[in-house]
Amino acid sequence: AQSVTQLGSHVSVSEGALVLLRCNYSSSVPPYLFWYVQYPNQGLQLLLKYTSAATLVKGINGFEAEFKKSETSFHLTKPSAHMSDAAEYFCAVSDLRQGGSEKLVFGKGTKLTVNP
Amino acid sequence: DAGITQSPRHKVTETGTPVTLRCHQTENHRYMYWYRQDPGHGLRLIHYSYGVKDTDKGEVSDGYSVSRSKTEDFLLTLESATSSQTSVYFCAIRDRVAGELFFGEGSRLTVL
């Protein structure tokens, strides 16, 4: 079964600093990978996804992630943090099953704090 | 916004009572999911559906059952609620494998 590990349940950066949120996955086959963001008291929304095309994926709000098969990683980055980036971020991997079923397994999340 | 609604949005109930949460979509998407979100655990999959009457268990399915008798509705039932099932429940839909997952706004359940 697929699984996802997010290193660091809390990350704190200063406004304007680099944001790096780490995600490692376990998969025996090439996976589909996703990053979602959740703002307080809201549902999750998609930031970006990797589906075996380009290894560097650009998403919304200036975020990007790089798929590295050799490291089984899909880390999320943003060159310059903004106060509005404060939220919880979730990495997810797609687990394909026979018969057409498919489920999405999420990591435990990383809460990003941006300090002025 | 994706046409997905959850009901009820908030519910307080007592231990041992049955509870049903409803997820309704207007997008005609094939896949539907129920997750629960708890501090320190992220989102954990309870059950999911890949078509009408086609459902499967997730990682935390004990104590929960689901039904999908038509494309637009996915029901999550707690047959006998326990305090450990106090959580925020999210429904999600997608139209295809690796497609974007759209989430509802969540249902906050408190079991006393």
- In angstroms, the CA A37 to CA A46 distance is 6
Using a CB–CB cutoff of 8 Å, tell me whether B38 touches chain A: no
Query: A43 and chain B: CB distance < 8 Å anywhere?
Result: yes
Please report the number of interchain residue pairs, chain A to chain B, with beta-carbon separation below 8 angstroms: 62
Cα separation of B41 and B4, whole Å? 24
Give me the pLDDT at residue B101, please.
Answer: 84
Q: Are residues B98 and A51, on separate chains, in Cβ contact within 8 Å?
A: yes
Whole-angstrom distance, CA of residue A8 vs CA of residue A16: 20
Using a CB–CB cutoff of 8 Å, tell me whether A5 touches chain B: no
Compute φ and ψ for A62, nearest 5 degrees.
80, 5
State which residue of chain A sits closest to B36, comparing Cα positions.
A106
- For residue B2, the model assigns a pLDDT of 66
Count the alpha carbons within 13 Å of A5 in the hemisphere toward its beta carbon.
8
Q: Is B50 in the A-facing interface, judged by CB distances under 8 Å?
A: yes
Tally of CB atoms within 10 A around B51? 14
In this complex, the residue of A94, A99, A109 whose CB is nearest that of residue B42 is A109
pLDDT digits (tens, 9 = 90+) for A34-89: 999 999 888 898 999 888 778 899 999 999 999 998 899 999 999 999 999 999 99
Residues in chain A with CB shorter than 8 Å from the CB of B60 are: none
Q: Is B33 on the interface with A (CB under 8 A)?
A: yes
B35, B76, B29, B19: which is closest to B50 by C-alpha? Answer: B29
* DSSP assignments along A71-105, one per residue: GTEEEEEESS--GGG-EEEEEEEEEE-GGG-EEEE
**What would the mean pLDDT of A95-106 be, rounded to a whole number?**
69
Query: Is the pLDDT at A33 greater than 80, yes or no?
Result: yes
